[in-house]
């Protein structure tokens, strides 16, 4: 994982496709505002913007926020999601969709149900511990445990789950707020 996200985003391409979970389950997100957490250069946000959703993108990198500045329909929130006060400074919503891809923050995941409107979807995707071992990072906290996402955050119901090889060992889950 890059340690200097501003340097990373100075060179990163903006034209990457959205995460698999967004491409596959994004069409099922009801109309309304979407929250994109650790949104980077907005690959998932652009998907929802193109479908008429207003999007709030939360990102800690000032470079990523600079590059996204002025995007119509996109509200930007500069917030280090690793900071102690991050959970109290999240946008309040409610949101019909929340996206958290390739970012692992277990306390944050547990706090998201209260931001989701009834009928809303939480889309999560990332690499698994198996991928961490393959990359020589067996003790990194930035990977999901095998089958960890089968257990939904409190107040949500699991609607879809997948785990396996997709250019790396990945996992995704879709949760519904009933």
Name the domain count of the chain.
1
Q: Does residue 4 form part of some domain? A: no
Contacts of residue 125, Cβ cutoff 8 Å, sequence gap at least 6: 19, 20, 21, 22, 100, 101, 102, 170, 171, 172, 173
**Range of the structural domain that residue 66 is part of:** 18-177
Full-model pTM = 0.93
Q: Does residue 113 form part of some domain? A: yes
Q: Does residue 111 form part of some domain? A: yes
Contacts of residue 85, Cβ cutoff 8 Å, sequence gap at least 6: none
CATH number at residue 158: 3.40.50.150
Phi, psi angles (nearest 5°) of residue 22: -75, -45
Q: Does residue 126 form part of some domain? A: yes
Q: Does residue 147 form part of some domain? A: yes
Whole-number pLDDT of residue 169? 82
Q: Strand, helix or coil at 121?
A: strand
Q: Does residue 13 form part of some domain? A: no
Q: Which of 18, 98, 93 is nearest to 50 (CA)?
A: 18
Whole-number pLDDT of residue 1? 46
Q: Tens-digit pLDDT profile for the chain (178 aa)?
A: 456 888 878 887 777 899 999 999 999 999 999 999 999 999 999 999 999 999 999 999 999 999 999 999 999 999 999 998 999 999 998 999 999 999 999 999 999 999 999 999 999 999 998 888 888 888 888 899 989 999 999 999 999 999 988 777 889 999 999 9
d(CA 16, CA 8): 14
Q: Strand, helix or coil at 16?
A: coil
Contacts of residue 170, Cβ cutoff 8 Å, sequence gap at least 6: 20, 125, 126, 127, 128, 131, 163, 164
Whole-number pLDDT of residue 13? 77
Q: Does residue 3 form part of some domain? A: no
Q: Does residue 144 form part of some domain? A: yes
């Amino acid at each position: 994982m890059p340690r200097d996200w501003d340097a990373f985003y100075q060179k990163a391409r903006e034209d990457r496709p959205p995460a698999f979970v967004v491409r596959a389950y994004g069409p099922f997100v009801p109309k309304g505002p979407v929250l994109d957490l650790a949104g980077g250069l907005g690959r998932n946000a652009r998907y929802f913007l193109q479908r008429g959703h207003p999007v709030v993108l939360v990102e800690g990198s000032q470079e990523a926020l600079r590059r996204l500045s002025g995007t119509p329909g996109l509200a930007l929130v500069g917030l280090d999601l690793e900071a102690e006060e991050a959970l109290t400074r999240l946008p309040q919503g409610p949101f019909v969709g929340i996206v958290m891809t390739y970012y692992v923050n277990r306390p944050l995941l547990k706090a998201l149900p209260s931001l989701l409107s009834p009928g809303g979807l939480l889309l999560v995707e990332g690499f698994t511990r198996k991928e961490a071992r393959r990359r020589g990072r067996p003790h990194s906290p930035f990977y999901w445990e095998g089958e960890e996402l089968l257990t939904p955050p409190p107040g949500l119901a699991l609607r879809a789950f997948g785990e396996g090889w997709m250019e790396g060992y990945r996992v995704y889950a879709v949760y519904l707020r009933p």
